[in-house]
Structure 1
Amino acid sequence: MIICADGLASIREAISTAFPNTEYQRCIVHQDRNTLKYVADKDRKEFSKDLKTIYNATNEEQGRKNRDYVTEKWSTKYPNAMKRWERDWDVITPIFKFSADVRKVIYTKKAIESLNATYRKLNRQRSVFSSSQALLKALYL
């Protein structure tokens, strides 16, 4: 099993305690966003394109080479931008164990965030559901 999550403090330990033998994958979308905070607006498009070469690499070795290239290319202009990629590499790399089709699903936690947003919206409109089945119908219809 694999769980894609943010880099919240102690999340990795909580996952390994609750679900032993589960792979923890850092959410790449959040990793990107956190990186781009350090980059000026005028450079974000090019920088973002370079970041994609890291997690779209065919394997971990190529991903590491691409990460090192991006770090070298941008380090003089944005010295702090790539520090998290180096520090968190071990929780970014599980993505390379999977096929391209699976990667598209696990590189972000957007699906669950979308479901949670829908639930919050429904809950604001109606805080009580007659049954769990009624809640599921409201969520998925």
Structure 2
Amino acid sequence: MWAGAGGEGAKHWMHILTEIKNRGVNDVLMLVCDGLKGLPDAVGTVWPQTVVQTCVVHLLRNSFRYAARQDWDKISKLLRPVYTAATEEAALERFAEFADAWGKKYPAIVRLWENAWEEFTPFLRFDTEIRRTVCTTNAIESVTPGSGGRSRPVGTSRTSRPR
């Protein structure tokens, strides 16, 4: 673990990942992150073959930031078939249904998912049992300072911005 105020930009992550590589980690199969701006680029530089997966829970939480509370349950029900789809193609079809239903009222949610799509879909290549592990950073956050060891179910109130 690294403590300090190094920020979360690409330069900071490049320093950390390079140090990890210098300590002997020659390859990383998959990295799950929660939308940190510089991390995907840094990991791509240090370990070019690494699959970068956006944390699905964070993606959902960020979606609710753009929606009125009274719509959270309806939005959640339409997004669930997207992230539980059997294939990326099926996820894309379910997402199109979501966009048709909510795109006019919440275009920011549609843009959020479109912008994250490439890093959202890698876990869809795995079996359901593996997906539960690689779709979220919550297991890591439960032991990370600042998270309080808590994970909130999707759709519950959160007063602070997701990390």
- For normalisation by structure 2, the TM-score amounts to 0.69
1:55-134 correspondence runs (5 A): 55-117=83-145
Between the two proteins, what is the percent identity of the paired residues?
A: 32
Q: Distance in 2 between matches of 1:116 and 1:87?
A: 27
Which of 71, 74, 80 matches 1:52? 80
Give the count of matched residue pairs: 121
Matching of residue 19 in structure 1 with residue 8 in structure 2: no
Q: Distance in 2 between matches of 1:44 and 1:117?
A: 28
* 1:39 alignment partner, SS class: coil
Corresponding letter in the other structure for 1:39: A
Larger Rg belongs to: 1
Q: Which runs of 4+ in 1 moved over 4 A?
A: none
Q: Which has the higher helix share?
A: 1
Q: Distance in 2 between matches of 1:7 and 1:98?
A: 21
* 2:53 alignment partner, SS class: strand
Q: What 5-or-longer segments of structure 1 have no aligned partner?
A: 122-141
Q: What 5-or-longer segments of structure 2 have no aligned partner?
A: 1-28, 150-163
